[in-house]
Amino acid sequence: MVEKKNIKSRTLKATSGLKLEMGRHYLAIEQAIKEGKPTAWATSGSPVELLYAMDVQPMLPENSATISAAKGQSKGFIEIAEDEGFSYDLCSYFKTNIGVTSSNTIDMSVGGIKKPTFMLSSDVICDTHVDWFQVQSKRFNVPHFTIDVPHVVSNTSNRQKHYFKKYVIEQLWDFINFMQEITHHEFDINKAREVAENSFDLSKIWQDIFELRKCVPSPLSTKDTFGGLFPLFTMPGLKSPIKLYKKMYKEAKQRVDEGIGALEEENYRLMFEGIPFWYNLKFFNFLEQYGAIIVYEPYTYSFSKYMDPSITKDILLNSPVETMAQLMLSFWYIYDLKTRVQKFQETIKNWKIDGVILHNNLSCRPNSCGLYDLKKHLMEDSDVPCLIIDGDMNDPRKLNSTQTINKIESFLELLENRKKN
Ligand code: SF4
């Protein structure tokens, strides 16, 4: 049996600033609504930067849903949605949002959300986003703009890629026109550049933080990154989260320089693919008690959208809208299997990962699709131990904790035996 040593972990002091940072975001929403300024619901992966550039206050229902889960409220909201006829298998973020609005929950501290001026969705990550806002925009009787993003697959030619980019660019300009009509705000290219620069800087520091996680021992854990990711998709374009990330980086770098890890004892380095169980983050503490640290999550990394090395700051500032289209076409979650396997293999090597835990998310197709193929390739081609666990990011009914803990313990035992041999 692998030994549970009750190893303690150290969260970065700077991470405590996250609460304040997110508080600013919720305050800005309250303020905008109070002053009658335009607001918009936006799905993750959609160009939130354009909202900031047009002085529209974003609200992210997925972020609100995670709060409901963390506060132990998501199950109740999901059941309200199911009572209304939404299927047990549908996305639990979507159903949480349905339950929140059907129960007229506006208290943001439990994941409540308010009526927006309009809604912005995109199918860059999943088609549920579009269906979700189609349903909710009808209920709230507000306009809905959706951006269709074609997926680049293995055989996509350069000619097709060029066409895809042109197609998305046209939609982004249509979206800007749509916002101008609704808000009566004029599009200002200099403001768009300023927002784009902040978004770029925010993402780059996040990537630098991830670079530090390559070090052994890793200076930070999921206690810093799971919550730390939220400014990336709620506030890309603002200056204040950049300061928070810089502080996190500085403290993590100091730990690296002093050889201090996030865990008192680091025994196994893991990758976790998928959305965490927001209602049960203690699960990750459980891993750490064995000295198992997650050093990379593709999910939290993917929101630092400037991953295509051909996109430099100069290019971005020169043409922020056009570059946004290119970014939407290079999002991690639209990778085909071949590229995804290759990315995983590179990451496993660079971050010195001993094993991979794959979250088979029962209500999210983009997160669960291809996991068995991915596992097969990583195990057979690269001899990397992989474990698939079933669960759901927001619906606690779908996680069998005892069974999952048993699986994890066996997996850690396997990693321990490999170390010995
Ligand atoms: S199905 Fe998955 S990707 Fe789509 S909204 Fe739900 S959690 Fe997000």
| Domain ranges (residues) in the chain | 16-187
293 CA distance to ligand 1 middle (Å): 26
Residue 117 contacts residue 40 (beta carbons within 8 Å) = yes
How far apart are alpha carbons 191 and 54 in whole angstroms?
Answer: 8
Q: Are strands 118-122 and 39-42 parallel, antiparallel or unpaired?
A: parallel
- The atom of ligand 1 lying closest to the CA of 393 is 7
Residue 364: CB atoms within 10 A of its CB come to 23
Q: Which of 74, 126, 331, 362 to mutate to test the pocket of ligand 1 (most atoms within 8 A of CB)?
A: 126
Contacts of 160 (CB under 8 A, 6+ apart): none
Residues 6+ apart with CB under 8 A from 201: 242
Task: Name the residue at shortest CA distance from atom 4 of ligand 1.
Answer: 126
Distance from Cα 126 to the centre of ligand 1, integer Å: 6
Q: Which ligand 1 atom is nearest residue 92's CA?
A: 6
Point out the ligand 1 atom lying closest to the alpha carbon of residue 44: 8
For residue 191, report the distance from its CA to the centre of ligand 1, in Å.
31
Answer whether 231's CB lies under 8 Å from 206's CB: no
Among 97, 364, 371, 398, which residue has the most ligand 1 atoms within 8 Å of its CB, making it the best to mutate? 364
User: What gap in Å lies between CA 286 and CA 266, rounded to an integer?
Assistant: 14
CATH architecture of 16-187: 3-Layer(aba) Sandwich (3.40)
What pLDDT tens digit does each residue of the chain (421 aa) get?
777 788 889 999 999 999 999 999 999 999 999 999 999 999 999 999 999 999 999 999 999 999 999 999 999 999 999 999 999 999 999 999 999 999 999 999 999 999 999 999 999 999 999 999 999 999 999 999 999 999 887 778 999 999 999 999 999 999 999 999 999 999 999 999 999 999 999 999 999 999 999 999 999 999 999 999 999 999 999 999 999 999 999 999 999 999 999 999 999 999 999 999 999 998 898 899 999 999 999 999 998 988 888 899 999 999 999 999 999 988 776 778 888 899 999 999 999 999 999 999 999 988 888 999 999 999 999 999 999 999 999 999 999 999 999 999 999 999 999 988 7
Please give the distance, rounded to the nearest whole angstrom, from the Cα atom of residue 420 to the centre of ligand 1: 40
Number of other CB atoms surrounding residue 9 within 10 Å: 21
In contact, 78 and 96? CB cutoff 8 Å: yes
Tell me how far CA of residue 25 lies from CA of 11, 31, 222, 242, 295, in angstroms.
23, 10, 22, 14, 28
Q: State residue 2's pLDDT score.
A: 79
Q: How many angstroms does the Cα of residue 111 sit away from the middle of ligand 1?
A: 17
Q: Which pair of tokens denotes residue 308? A: 């295509």
> Which pLDDT score is estimated for 47?
96
Distance from residue 138's CA to the centre of ligand 1 (Å): 20
CA of 266 to the centre of ligand 1 (A): 33
Of all protein residues, the one whose alpha carbon is nearest to atom 1 of ligand 1 is 364
Beta bridge partners of 359: 389
Coil/strand/helix, residue 91? coil
| Ligand 1 nearest atom to the CA of residue 128, by list position | 4
CB half-sphere exposure, 37, CA atoms < 13 A: 16
Which tokens hold the place of 173?
């300009």
What pLDDT is stored for residue 62 in this prediction? 97
| 92 Cα–ligand 1 center, Å | 8
CB 227 within 8 A of CB 206: no
CA-nearest residue, atom 6 of ligand 1? 91
Residues 6+ apart with CB under 8 A from 420: none
- Of 150, 242, 163, 256, nearest to 198 by C-alpha is 242
pLDDT of residue 308: 84
Distance from the alpha carbon of residue 91 to the mean position of ligand 1, in angstroms:
6
Listed in sequence order, the DSSP H helices in 266-400 are 282-288, 298-302, 313-318, 320-328, 337-350, 365-368, 371-382
Give distance in angstroms: CA of 41 to centre of ligand 1: 15
Residue 262 near residue 221 (C-beta atoms within 8 A): yes
User: Ligand 1 pocket by C-beta < 6 Å: which residues?
Assistant: 91, 93-94, 125-126, 128-129, 364-367
Residue 174: both structure tokens together: 């249509």
pTM for the model: 0.95
The helix or strand, by DSSP H or E, that contains position 161, with its residue range, turns out to be helix 158-183
Centre of ligand 1 from the C-alpha of residue 68, in Å:
16
Pocket test for ligand 1, best of 60, 63, 94 (most atoms within 8 A of CB): 94
- In this structure, the residue with its CA closest to atom 7 of ligand 1 is 364
Which is the closest atom of ligand 1 to the Cα of 394?
Answer: 7
Using CA positions, which residue lies closest to atom 8 of ligand 1?
Answer: 364
